[in-house]
Amino acid sequence: MSQVIDGTGLTADDVAAIRGTIEPWTNACVRRDWDGLLRMCTDDIVFLPPDEPVVEGGGVRRWLDNFPAIKAMSLDIDHVEGAGHLAFVRGRVRMTLEVSGQQLAFDGKYTDLFRKQPNGTWRFAQVMWNSNKAA
């Protein structure tokens, strides 16, 4: 059994598993592999996109289908904390989006809530991000 990491309430294996979701997530976003992305999410997934209403459950797929093309994406984890079957992740996000034929840079931050599944995997339960630019 893994030892709990001081101050986080999670084991080293839990933290490694959560950190291990970042590359598959970014790859799925760039490839627009929404089925693959949603397999990394809980059935009751909630997206909280910037300057838009909350998107929940089955509405997430429709929302993703309308999201601009992501040409490049990077996520950095700054903090992981949790206990039991819940974990919170905070970090930085950078994307290059294609909107109406133009490439737009997005520089922001995110916070995600993960829920541990009965099989031991960690899935995204809530995904929230916003820009570092002032409104």
pLDDT tens sequence across 26-53: 999 999 999 999 999 999 999 999 999 9
Specify the higher pLDDT residue, 7 or 134.
134
pTM score, two decimals? Answer: 0.91
Domains, the chain, ranges and CATH?
A: 12-131 (3.10.450.50)
What letter represents residue 67's amino acid? F
- Enter the tokens of residue 108: 């922001």
Beta partners for residue 113, in sequence order: 88, 126
pLDDT of residue 5: 53
> Are 60 and 90 contacting, i.e. CB atoms less than 8 angstroms apart?
no
Contact 34, 61 (CB under 8 A): yes
